[in-house]
Structure 1
Amino acid sequence: MTKVLHINSSLFGNQGESSQLATQFVEKLVAGQKGSQVKNRILADDTVPHLNAETFQGFMLDVSEQNDQQKAMTALSNTLIDEVKEADVLVLGVPLYNFTMPSTLKSWFDFIARAGITFRYTENGPVGLLENKKAYVFAARGGLYQGTEMDTQTPLIRHFLAFIGITDVEFIYAEGLSMGGDARESALQNASQHIDQLVA
């Protein structure tokens, strides 16, 4: 049985291109696996608040010392972390906004990065604690960025996931979606073919 955590971060919710590709992959991944479980989280609809000082300080306090807002935000963080802990596979639908990830996904990252829970500091640097998981990132872009210095998104996501212990990460790209002509259809078709190869 495979447990999948599926996160869509497009501002268009499940209608975004990255979301549709991620959903296509998840559906095909679990189709032949009896008993598979999928947890879906659409960040456009269920937004994680931006991290602020009060919330961050609350993460480091005992519950008896937290105010009501800190208790609520810590409880949300714990829920998000538990979803990742329970998953075998993490699937992210990620558009490219202004050369980086959507702020909703950054907030989700901020709420699952907790010292002593998802990573720990050692004399040799930080060590991720969420190991033995596979991540698939479905990256949809209007232009062509893969492999160029303009693609700051790929290394950022890869570095963050490694920071919390997820080092087996595969990116599936659909680029040139806003370039007109046949570029859009060709990119989506290539991404769909990549998906078929992954689930074969």
Structure 2
Amino acid sequence: MHILHLDSAITADASVSRQLTADIMAKLTAQGTPTVTYRDLNEGVPAIDTTWFQAVRVGTDSPTPEQQDRIATSDALLAEVQAADVIVIGLPVYNFAIPAQLKNWLDQIARAGVTFRYTADGPEGLLTGKRAIIAYTAAGTPMGSDLDYASGYLRHMLGFMGITDVTFVPADGLAFDREAGMARAQAALDQIAA
């Protein structure tokens, strides 16, 4: 088994999502020694731009050094996802949505013809057979509420690329009742099979 472990919180050691992804990883690795790739998205994932679009989406026979850099970055992020059987994602909710660095990661890997394609029957995800486990944390945004623009979006994007086996470990409402929020997360974590 190959696990891709992604963190995106900006709060360093105070991060609940980082704590939960570590707990998820401990559970997944307790019964064996899988290959693990770790990436801290907070260390920087470039936003896509016109240079990225021209290099990656349009393609060119003789890319400039700047375009080659964009291609290499996107290809490296994509290769990590393609190699993974399980993807563990830390999803702290900021301003009711996913962190910018997690959005940048999704933009880098959502590549037509590689992770999805359009068919006569509609879009088809190409990253099938993978499992995602998401540590959802929020101070005041209940998961699944009308205020939650994060969990549904992330589930949709993963599904659009073919990852439909998605499990959430939610620790929400932490600003109001941290103990109850952490208890909800622990209950979800207890249900995860290694």
TM-score by length of 2: 0.94
Instruction: Provide the rounded CA distance (Å) in 2 between the counterparts of 1:107 and 1:121.
Output: 22
Q: Does 1:193 align with 2:191?
A: no
What displacement does 1:184 show?
0.6
What displacement does 1:61 show?
4.5
Q: Does 1:44 align with 2:42?
A: yes
What displacement does 1:64 show?
3.3
- Corresponding letter in the other structure for 2:190: D
Unpaired stretches in structure 2, ≥5 consecutive residues: none
TM-score by length of 1: 0.91
Report if aligned partners of 2:96, 2:141 keep a CA contact under 8 Å in 1. no
Report if aligned partners of 2:8, 2:92 keep a CA contact under 8 Å in 1. yes
Question: 1:148 aligns to what SS in structure 2?
Answer: coil
What displacement does 1:84 show?
0.6
Report if aligned partners of 1:5, 1:40 keep a CA contact under 8 Å in 2. yes
Question: 2:27 aligns to what SS in structure 1?
Answer: helix
Question: 2:118 aligns to what SS in structure 1?
Answer: strand
Instruction: Provide the rounded CA distance (Å) in 2 between the counterparts of 1:55 and 1:90.
Output: 25
Task: Provide the residue aligned with 2:111 in structure 1.
Answer: 114
- Corresponding letter in the other structure for 1:36: P
Task: Provide the residue aligned with 1:169 in structure 2.
Answer: 166
Report if aligned partners of 1:6, 1:38 keep a CA contact under 8 Å in 2. yes
The alignment yields a C-alpha RMSD, in angstroms, of 1.5
- Corresponding letter in the other structure for 1:140: T
Instruction: Provide the rounded CA distance (Å) in 2 between the counterparts of 1:60 and 1:199.
Output: 38
Instruction: Provide the rounded CA distance (Å) in 1 between the counterparts of 2:9 and 2:120.
Output: 38
Greater shift after overlay, 15-24 or 109-118? 15-24
Question: 2:154 aligns to what SS in structure 1?
Answer: helix
Instruction: Provide the rounded CA distance (Å) in 2 between the counterparts of 1:86 and 1:191.
Output: 28
Question: 1:115 aligns to what SS in structure 2?
Answer: coil
Counterpart mapping for 1:1-200 below 5 A? 2-13=1-12, 15-33=14-32, 35-45=33-43, 47-62=44-59, 64-179=61-176, 183-199=177-193
What displacement does 1:14 show?
5.4
What displacement does 1:145 show?
2.0
* Number of equivalenced pairs: 194
Greater shift after overlay, 82-91 or 9-18? 9-18
Q: Alignment identity in percent?
A: 39
What displacement does 1:108 show?
0.2
Question: 1:10 aligns to what SS in structure 2?
Answer: coil
